[in-house]
A and B are shown apart, each in its own frame.
Chain A
Amino acid sequence: EVQVLESGGGLVQPGGSLRLSCAASGFTFTSYAMTWVRRPPGKGLEWVSAVSGNGRTTYYADSVKGRFTVSRDNSHNTLFLQMNNLRAEDTAVYYCAKVLTWRGAIDYWGQGTLVTVSS
């Protein structure tokens, strides 16, 4: 059974940093791209970032480019999102998800972890 489980969310002040982790199981981790998607309170889904299976190719939404860094540890089946210089508008539930086909559908999602940026 495919499972993805996020952790690392919490309350952080504007300008602060946070690192999200996502533990994956039930599939060959290195064979699939992984992605982060967020849902701000009262708003819809917003794609954040993605990384290819071998970790060499990364993509970012313009809203987080230069502040967020996605990476993966294929030896431990874990995905990361390093978030720096956080802003109030980054407040959201962050979902880790498996990408079915590169630039295609996102087929398995986690339950999400809440990030709140507030002073």
Chain B
Amino acid sequence: GESVGLHLPTLSVQEGDNSIINCAYSNSASDYFIWYKQESGKGPQFIIDIRSNMDKRQGQRVTVLLNKTVKHLSLQIAATQPGDSAVYFCAEEGGGNKLTFGTGTQLKVEL
């Protein structure tokens, strides 16, 4: 897949456990943040987003937390399933719809 040659941080979790993936962003002016999931051979797929006027947003099994003070974003996945195995990217938008991506984290779910 696209991760060849790219040494990604890896998070290994047991099926059923909760996963927490962290991301540090760089632009304090960014006002929109997104988490993407990328499976092998596919493009990034939108998971959840959050705007800078919020510090938490929940979706189905996923929660995004935003800490603007330390420019930190996290993605929490509840009851992690084998289908959650993928590379997860955070992205920030500082205006003009241009996304700036983080390096990604490989999530591996062990049975």
- Bind each other: no
CB within 8 Å of B: which residues of A?
none
Write the residues of chain B forming the contact surface with A, with a CB cutoff of 8 angstroms: none
